[in-house]
Amino acid sequence: MLTRKQHKLLLFIDSHLKQTGFSPSFDEMKEAMGLRSKSGIHRLISGLEERGFLRRHHHRARALEVIQLPEMAQATPETLPSNVVRADFSRANAQTLKVPLYGRIAAGLPIEAMADTDSFLDIPMTLVGTGDYYALEVTGDSMIDAGIMDGDYVVIRRTESVENGQIIVALIDDNDVTLKRLRRKGNTIALEPANPNYETRIVPAERLKIQGKLAGLIRRYH
CB-based contact 194:143 (threshold 8 Å): yes
Q: What is the dihedral of CA 124, 127, 133, 139, to 10 degrees?
A: -90
Locate the DSSP E strands across the chain.
2-3, 54-56, 64-66, 84-85, 96-106, 120-124, 133-139, 153-157, 167-172, 176-185, 188-192, 201-204, 208-218
Active site residue 142: yes
Active site residue 180: yes
CB-based contact 188:205 (threshold 8 Å): yes
> Who contacts 145 (Cβ-Cβ below 8 Å, separation ≥6)?
3, 43, 194, 195, 196
Q: Residues 5, 23, 142, 213: which is the catalytic one?
A: 142
Bridge partners of residue 155, in order along the sequence:
135, 216
Q: Residues 5, 23, 46, 180: which is the catalytic one?
A: 180
Residues 195, 36: Cα–Cα separation, whole Å: 17
Residues 54, 51: Cα–Cα separation, whole Å: 8
The DSSP code for 130 is S
At 39, is the secondary structure helix, strand, or coil? helix
Q: Which residues are catalytic?
A: 142, 180
